[in-house]
């Protein structure tokens, strides 16, 4: 039996790694279904709103030149664009069943110059984050993550195009990050959309990043180790990337009248990565920037360290911003 188990272990270690990975295979918006690019089919004749992508394997380096859209940045020969209304929901579907429940979900937009994204290299664009979900409840070691919610939701993630986003041509970048092993595994894919009926809240500089550039290999959100003793009590997780776009649902400065402090904030978490040792009675004001401070099922500390305030991202997640 032991020998058999050992044999199994060897066999599974040598299986094609694509079996355990994947990416975004399709999208839906307003009742329309958009089949994505098929990375293992011939590119010839493929016509989809999704940007071509090359592999089910994860990206494991934040400086990888393919980090924008899991490809060389170019559009397809027969590239399509979906028309999407601002304020509408768009869903990305990963392969079934997505195997990695530990890690965040992130969604970005990048506006293209000119009248179409076709022909625009994704590596030249500036991205802003319209949606994020990190550790939703529980601990780093054994909690519910954005990726777990994605799996529970038919291996799909639905986000709302903010109604404040200016109309125009964009790439939308859905990303899931898997933290079960290090280096972290990043799975981004992009699609071309034309947003109609938008608003006038352009993203500001502190909300905009390039890919690569938006993450660093030392980001606390990419180096977190699920298997330490600290992880069994730690209930906060710093989601990588820039602060949420102000117009995103639950972002810190909506119409609330709080002064727009966004410009003064650093664009990435400090590298000190001081994972607050979740003591048994955490004082108010102990949650670091980007840490979780509320949401359904969350029972950890709710006060943010100065000068950040607890901002609702969605029903499951509030964050210090």
Q: Which residues of this chain interact with ligand NAG, rule CB under 6 A? A: 26, 93, 96, 142, 154, 156
The minimum distance between CB 244 and ligand NAG, in angstroms, equals: 26
DSSP H/E element including 151: helix 146-152
Token pair in block for residue 181: 């092993």
Least CB distance from residue 179 to Cu ion, whole Å? 12
Closer by beta carbon to Cu ion, 90 or else 179: 179
- Which of the choices Cu ion, ligand NAG, none does residue 21 contact, using the CB cut-off of 5 to 8 A by kind? Cu ion
Of Cu ion, ligand NAG, none, which one does residue 93 interact with (CB within 5 to 8 Å by kind)?
ligand NAG
Task: In angstroms, give the least distance from the CB of 151 to ligand NAG.
Answer: 11
Q: Which helix (H) or strand (E) holds 198?
A: none
CA atoms within 13 A on the CB side of 261: 13
Minimum distance of ligand NAG from residue 276's CB (angstroms):
20
| Sequential DSSP letters for 95-123 | SSSP---SS-EEEEEEEPSTT-STT--GG
Q: Omega of the bond prior to 183 within 30 degrees of 0, cis?
A: yes
- In three-state secondary structure terms, 200 is coil
Among residues 34 and 93, whose Cβ is nearest to ligand NAG?
Answer: 93
What is the spatial distance between Cα 49 and Cα 155, in angstroms, rounded to a whole number? 20
209, 127 Cβ separation under 8 angstroms: yes
Element (H, E) at 209: none
CB of 99 to Cu ion, least distance (A): 6
Backbone angles phi, psi at 292, to 5 degrees: -80, 140
Lookup: tokens for 21: 């990975």
Q: Which is nearer to ligand NAG, 35 or 116 (CB)?
A: 35
Nearer to ligand NAG, 91 or 123 (CB): 91
The whole-angstrom separation of Cα 22 and Cα 99 is 9
Query: 308 touches which of Cu ion, ligand NAG, none (CB within 5 to 8 A by kind)?
Result: none
Q: CB under 5 to 8 A by kind: which of Cu ion, ligand NAG, none does 20 bind?
A: Cu ion
Select the binding partner of residue 147 from ligand NAG, Cu ion, none (C-beta < 5 to 8 A, by kind). Answer: none
The smaller minimum CB distance to ligand NAG, of residues 22 and 198, is found at 22
Pick between residue 156 and residue 185 the one whose CB is nearest to ligand NAG. Answer: 156
Find the binding residues for Cu ion in span 4-43 (CB under 5 A). Answer: 20-21
Torsion region of 63: left, alpha or beta (phi above 0 gives left; psi -120 to 50 gives alpha):
alpha
The residues binding Cu ion (CB under 5 A) are: 20-21
């Amino acid at each position: 039996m032991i020998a058999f188990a050992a044999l199994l272990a060897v066999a599974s270690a040598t299986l094609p790694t694509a079996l355990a990975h994947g990416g975004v295979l399709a999208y839906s918006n307003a009742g329309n279904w958009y089949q994505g690019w098929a990375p293992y089919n011939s590119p010839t004749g493929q016509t989809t709103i999704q940007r071509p992508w090359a592999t089910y394997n994860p990206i494991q380096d934040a400086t990888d030149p393919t980090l924008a859209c899991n490809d060389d940045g170019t559009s397809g020969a027969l590239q399509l664009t979906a028309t999407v209304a601002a304020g509408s929901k768009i869903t990305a579907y990963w392969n079934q069943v997505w195997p990695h429940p530990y890690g965040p979900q992130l969604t970005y937009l990048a506006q293209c110059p000119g009248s179409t994204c076709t022909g625009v290299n994704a590596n030249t664009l500036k991205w802003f984050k319209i949606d994020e979900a990190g550790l939703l409840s529980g601990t780093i070691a054994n909690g519910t993550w954005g990726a777990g919610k994605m799996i529970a939701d038919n291996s799909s993630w639905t986000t709302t195009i903010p109604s404040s986003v200016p109309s125009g041509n964009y790439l939308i970048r859905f990303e899931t990050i898997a933290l079960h092993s290090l280096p972290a595994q990043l799975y981004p894919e992009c699609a071309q959309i034309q947003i109609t009926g938008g608003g006038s809240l352009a993203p500001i500089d502190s909300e905009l990043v390039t890919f690569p550039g938006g993450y660093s290999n030392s980001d606390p959100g990419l180096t977190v180790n699920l298997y330490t003793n600290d992880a069994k009590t730690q209930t906060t997780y710093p989601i990588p990337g820039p602060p949420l776009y102000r117009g995103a649902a639950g972002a810190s400065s909506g119409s609330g009248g709080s002064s727009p402090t966004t410009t003064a904030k650093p664009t990435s978490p400090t590298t000190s990565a001081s994972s607050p040792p979740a003591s048994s009675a955490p004082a108010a004001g102990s949650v670091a920037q980007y840490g979780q401070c509320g949401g359904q099922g969350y029972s950890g500390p709710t006060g943010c360290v100065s000068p950040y305030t607890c901002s609702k991202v969605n029903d499951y997640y509030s964050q210090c911003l």
